Amino acid sequence: MSRTLAEKVWEAHVVRHGSGAEPDLLYIDLHLLHEVTSPQAFDGLRLAGRRLRRPDLTIATEDHNVPTVDIELPIADPVSRTQVETLRRNCAEFGVRLHPMGDAEQGIVHVVGPQLGLTQPGMTVVCGDSHTSTHGAFGALAFGIGTSEVEHVMATQTLPLRPFKTMAINVEGSLRPGVTAKDVILAVIAKIGTGGGQGYVLEYRGSAISALSMEARMTVCNMSIEAGARAGMIAPDQTTFDYIKGRPHAPSGADWDAAVEYWSTLATDEGAEFDAEVTLDADELTPFVTWGTNPGQGLPLGASVPDPEAIADENERVAAEKALSYMGLEAGTPLRDIRVDTVFLGSCTNGRIEDLRAAADVLRGHHVADGVRMLVVPGSMRVRAQAETEGLHEVFQAAGAEWRQAGCSMCLGMNPDQLKPGERSASTSNRNFEGRQGKGGRTHLVSPLVAAATAVRGTLSSPADLTPADLV
């Protein structure tokens, strides 16, 4: 029978089929941990007198609560300090490999796994974090789990799971210059809505997806959860294999050949049926930005703030009214006229080396606009080191941007990098919820190219809007 990629990975991991209403029990190949969602799970193990079943398949990093400056000083915020210290104690007690602040491999959990070669095609990957969907870019079945499930995986290396439906997201054609993976996924979410993926594993397919680099594919899969999906996946291909080859945890020698042979069987079979299909024309996409307070409230940069009155669906209309009032925006204002105070380049969506390179290319020869602060936060210390080898930090600093240490940073208000009430950002992260980047902060989700151009002009912009007058 023809099967989809997701079905193949699922079936390869069933330890025990559930009968009737019972869920299947799946084996988990990789368990990622961070400081926010692990403490109660470790407590649970301790109370039950259990050890970790497979510490060798478990890895932890510090990302959410870490400051991105003065990292050699004690963490000032007591809550954050406790989180980080608790993770350190737990990892030492239970024998889990941890990359703490300052370590060469520390970084955002979803940047660290792939860069170490831990994330591989055909795996099941879990983490107590919704953006675990990122790892699906490798053809892994990867999803976020709750804290009680984290404990279950720690104790047994398995997880009871209910079946899912499959949705194909076909993106055909080629992206125009200046249009990126971030624009693709923002357009997908605007099309299917923040609940459109509920109950589904999304598979991104088509010529525009095949043409993406691994890092761009991670950007797409990262935001699957913002469409409500269980996971997002892309079939592994030569691009995937080339990315993994030679990484610290990649198979080598005969194991590599055997792995590639297996990975090559994972793509969805010809004739396999999806429960739903959505199609997007890549050639028609332009830079996309959000105007509202959920990731589905987005439009092409060339559009204007929508008029809620013109929205037929009542729920959507009310949501739009509320969003505009929170965002301090007037219907009809061209999106390009929206002025920002802050630009944030980073996060597990867009904090990898290609994102930094793309933004640096725009910033070279330019300066951040008066009154705008720009934070550049590499997704991991390895990304930071690579960027410094390439001199990108000098480009950012010469442009007046702040060059930071690795972490989640301004993606969410759990560390010192936050917006003040009423401040507005252009942010390469994945969520624009009320207060996400700090209480009262207003977030516009954008690509790294739009982030950089916006920093220069001070209003939401794409690189194509920069004129010779913007050069310094």
Ligand X SMILES: CC(C)[C@H](C(=O)O)[C@@H](O)C(=O)O
Q: Which is nearer to ligand X, 59 or 282 (CB)?
A: 59
The answer on whether 127 is annotated among ligand-binding residues is no
Instruction: Scan residues 396-425 and list those touching ligand X (CB under 6 A).
Output: 412
The listed partner (ligand SF4, ligand X, none) that binds 36, CB under 5 to 8 Å by sort, is ligand X
- The candidate with the shortest Cα–Cα distance to 203, out of 271, 275, 261, is 275
The listed partner (ligand SF4, ligand X, none) that binds 186, CB under 5 to 8 Å by sort, is none
Q: What is the DSSP string of 145-161?
A: --HHHHHHHHHHSEEEE
With CB under 6 A as the contact rule, which of the stretches 129-137, 374-382, 397-405, 440-448 interacts with ligand X?
A: 129-137
- The candidate with the shortest Cα–Cα distance to 410, out of 452, 356, 348, 460, is 348
HSE, CB side, 13 Å, CA atoms: give it for residue 272.
19
The answer on whether 411 is annotated among ligand-binding residues is yes
Residue 378 engages ligand X in binding (rule: CB under 6 A): no
Residue 226 engages ligand X in binding (rule: CB under 6 A): no
With CB under 6 A as the contact rule, which of the stretches 71-79, 127-135, 180-188, 229-237 interacts with ligand X?
A: 127-135
Question: Which residue is listed with tokens 């199609």?
Answer: 279
Q: Counting Cβ atoms within 10 Å, is residue 68 exposed (0-12), middle (13-18) or buried (19+)?
A: buried
Give CA–CA dist 163/105, Å, rounded: 35
Task: Work out how close the CB of 41 gets to ligand X at its nearest, in angstroms, rounded to a whole number.
Answer: 12
Rg of the chain in Å (alpha carbons): 22
Q: In what order do the strands lie in the sheet with 424-427?
A: 402-403, 373-376, 342-345, 424-427, 442-445
Instruction: Scan residues 299-318 and list those touching ligand X (CB under 6 A).
Output: none
Q: Which is nearer to ligand X, 131 or 135 (CB)?
A: 131
Judged by the rule CB under 6 A, the positions of this chain that interact with ligand SF4 are 63-64, 108, 110, 129, 131, 347-348, 408, 411-412, 429-430
Residue 120 engages ligand X in binding (rule: CB under 6 A): no
Residue 36 engages ligand X in binding (rule: CB under 6 A): yes
Q: Which is nearer to ligand X, 215 or 226 (CB)?
A: 226
The listed partner (ligand SF4, ligand X, none) that binds 37, CB under 5 to 8 Å by sort, is ligand X
Task: Work out how close the CB of 156 gets to ligand SF4 at its nearest, in angstroms, rounded to a whole number.
Answer: 25
Q: Which is nearer to ligand X, 207 or 433 (CB)?
A: 433
CA 438 to chain centre: 19
The listed partner (ligand X, ligand SF4, none) that binds 347, CB under 5 to 8 Å by sort, is ligand SF4
Q: Which is nearer to ligand SF4, 131 or 152 (CB)?
A: 131
Q: Which is nearer to ligand X, 170 or 437 (CB)?
A: 437
Q: Which is nearer to ligand X, 399 or 411 (CB)?
A: 411
The answer on whether 408 is annotated among ligand-binding residues is yes
**Neighbouring C-beta atoms of residue 258, cutoff 10 Å:** 11
Task: Work out how close the CB of 431 gets to ligand X at its nearest, in angstroms, rounded to a whole number.
Answer: 6
Terminal Cα distance for the chain, rounded: 62
Task: Work out how close the CB of 62 gets to ligand SF4 at its nearest, in angstroms, rounded to a whole number.
Answer: 11
Residue 144 engages ligand X in binding (rule: CB under 6 A): yes
Exactly one of 130, 210, 264, 286 binds ligand X (CB under 6 A); which one? Answer: 130
Residue 65, φ and ψ in degrees, nearest 5: -95, 0
Task: Work out how close the CB of 346 gets to ligand SF4 at its nearest, in angstroms, rounded to a whole number.
Answer: 7
- Tell me if 39 sits within 8 A of 144, measured CB to CB: no
Per DSSP, the three-state class of 94 is helix
Q: Which residues contact 286 (CB under 8 A, 6 or more apart)?
A: 176, 179, 183, 300, 301, 302
- The candidate with the shortest Cα–Cα distance to 347, out of 248, 224, 447, is 447
Alpha helices by DSSP H, listed for 335-391, are: 347-350, 353-363, 381-389
Residue 64 engages ligand X in binding (rule: CB under 6 A): yes
Could you list the residues known to form a binding site, using ranges.
Answer: 348, 408, 411
Q: Which residues bind ligand X (CB under 6 A)?
A: 36-37, 64, 129-131, 144, 412
Could you list the residues known to form a binding site for [4Fe-4S] cluster, using ranges.
Answer: 348, 408, 411
